[in-house]
Chain A
Amino acid sequence: MNKKPWNKNLLLIFVKFRELGILIFIILLVLIVSLRSPYFLTLSNLNVILLDISILFIVAVGQMVVLLSKNLDLSVGSGVALVGMIVAMTVSKNWNIQPVVAILMGVGYGLFFGALNGVVISKGKVSPVITTLGTMSIYRGLAFMISGGAWVDAVEMPESFKLIARGKILGIPNLIFFMIVIFIIFYYLLNHTRIGRQIYAVGSNREASKMVGISTDKITFLVYSLSGILFGLGGVLWVSRYASAQSDSAMGFEFQTIAACVIGGVNIAGGSGTLPGLLMAVLFLGIINNALNLVRISPFLKLAVQGLVILIAVITDVLIKRRFQKVLLLREKEL
């Protein structure tokens, strides 16, 4: 029995393409929803979806980098709230701060808080879960403390600051622009630099990485700093987009980022996962959210449907992958 080689190659490509299940699910979802609502498949709606997912994507990239190295960052949600609050309070007191400075400030604070996680984990030898569970409470508490529980309202922010999330660069909305830039930078970092490969290596086998001379402590410190930078950026964008800073904003955001990573095929136990996969997962979550709004589902139903769809998606993903692997194994035996 000689099978045509292209057939096998095609299959191989499918199997390598770990995010296939999610892609099929996205296509199905798009088909169903566009039948119900003609507005769904328009360019302006795509714009809305992308705007909605951009902050989640940016922060989830940081989470992914951390997960790749077999660590976990539970402090991202609190980090977004804390950095957002600090920047919003600073900006509301000094209206003449340039938007670029505000962004850099957010990135700087984010870097600091992320690096703090990194130091405690790599130098204090505290496990990532304990550290980031702790800093999750600490950062959230700090956000409450410095604000005294009060909000920073839209009227207290200068127009230029609110324009960070609403403006456009070269015809592309800023948020989407940031998303693209982050995607490109991290795609390059993860796939084409030594550091990127080291992150994967540490995640797959820490002991072996140590043996070949990778400083695992440095990598740990690095991934948490990167995650910090990204949640710092996310914090500024969050405050600017919603034009209000609240100490309880981004509650549960850490779970959303982890969900995005896991749906996107990032292995929670480290070592595997791709940026396109993550993008697809975030897109998937964004589409569900958008579709539920468009089909005018009752807000009380939304949460349950969201959970159900995520469950169905991951189960389909597993089933499809199993099927392919079975077929592949059979073919290999035949050949």
Chain B
Amino acid sequence: MVDSFRINFFKRIFLRRECLLVLLIIVVNVINTNLSPYYLNVINLFDMTFNFMEKGFIVLIMALIMITGNIDISVASNIAMSSVVMAVSYQSGLNIVICIILGLLTGTLGGFINGYLITKFRLSSIVVTLGTMSLYRGIPFIILGDQAVTKFPEGFAYIGQGYIGDTLIPFQLVVFIILAVIFSLLLHKTTFGRHIYSIGTNENACRYSGVPVDSIKLKIFAISGFLSALAAIFLTSRIGVSRPSIALGYELEIITIVVLGGVSMYGGEGTIPGVVLSLFLVGFVRYGLSLKNVPASMIVIIIGLVLIFSVMIPNVLNEFNINKKLKRRA
């Protein structure tokens, strides 16, 4: 009895996705520190977060969407659309604050349209967002063609490049942490969050038991649009340029991070701490490898391998354990 309790306890703690991710982060950090003397440097470590914070915003909401068993692959295109709308309206002489609001509205509208089509016509989210992925990427191309907007007002750069006061903490990182806290409270401590899990587990049962499935879906897709626009503002400010081909391929990176964080594509599973850890894991891997001048193609391969093996190894170990137990019983 004590034995089985201990095993269960062990399992509960160590077979959790988050533990594995923490373990992997430690391993990666130890390896990286040994590989490069520049790795364990506070300035560098804070600065490397600039590279993936925009993706981080979307990772949070993508986790929610995927927990309901849906997916939004139009996020990167939505970034491009909001970014270009914002930039072009600034170019036409509007105040930058109004432009930012316009950008946010555009993104939110994009997300709302996704949600509306999915709930109103009961279409699968992958079909709708596949369509809007082309549509939202196409609209900035109509607006800007092959041009780019590079002129932004002085203070605008602070959003994506600034630090909090005199400290080394990037403004972006703080925004991300606030968002992450809000999202984990939302998902893990509210009825809304429980509804999201239950939709992912059994949508029909939810409808019969009075969960407002459509309104929840509409909300999370609209939030996804809003956060894409927010990411667009930070990204545009950080790289100082807006063009239709901005953020190309982000959707796959974001989905990879969410899946690595333990969210099941078929819904019902996953946590916010999991995806945040996975975001940082991917960030550490990329940062360490690029310090060693590893080519980008190799980094891509390594992240792919980490993704597969982080799931395969626990699975295989688990199966091995079960087999051993069965043998002992026999």
Q: Which residues of A contact B (CB under 8 A)?
A: 72, 120, 124-127, 129-131, 133-138, 140-142, 144-145, 149, 247, 251, 255, 258-259, 262-263, 268, 300-308, 310-311, 314-315, 318-319
Contacts and interface: CB of A to CB of B under 8 A. Distances in A.
B297 interface: yes
Contacts of A138: 300-301, 304-305
B121 interface: yes
A145 B301 contact: yes
A223 B123 CA distance: 26
Given A133-B255, A137-B301, A310 B312 contact: no
Contacts of B255: 133
Given A130-B260, A144-B300, A311-B132, 19 more contacts: A126-B312, A133-B255, A133-B259, A137-B301, A138-B304, A140-B297, A251-B249, A255-B133, A258-B130, A259-B130, A303-B135, A304-B137, A306-B138, A310-B134, A311-B135, A314-B127, A315-B123, A318-B121, A318-B122
Contacts of A120: 308, 312
A307 B304 contact: no
Interface residues on B, range: 35 or more
B138 A302 contact: yes
B259 A130 contact: yes
Interface stretch (B139-147, B158-166, B210-218): B139-147
Contacts of B304: 133-138, 141
13 contacts: A125-B312, A127-B311, A138-B305, A141-B304, A142-B297, A142-B301, A258-B130, A300-B138, A300-B146, A304-B134, A306-B138, A308-B135, A310-B131
A304 B77 CA distance: 11
A255 B139 contact: no
A304 B123 contact: no
Contacts of B296: 144
Closest 9 pairs between A and B when the two form their complex, measured CB to CB:
A304-B138, A307-B134, A307-B135, A144-B297, A137-B304, A303-B138, A141-B301, A311-B131, A134-B308
B127 A307 contact: no
A301 to B, nearest CB: 6
Contact of A130 (B137, B295, B297, B311): B311
A258 B126 contact: yes
A247 B297 CA distance: 10
Contact of A268 (B126, B139, B256, B305): B126
A255 B73 contact: yes
Interface in B273-330: 295-301, 303-305, 307-308, 311-312, 315-316, 319
Nearest to A267: B124
A144 B138 CA distance: 28
A300 B145 contact: yes
B126 A134 contact: no
Contacts of A142: 297, 301
B117 interface: yes
Contacts of B146: 300
B136 interface: yes
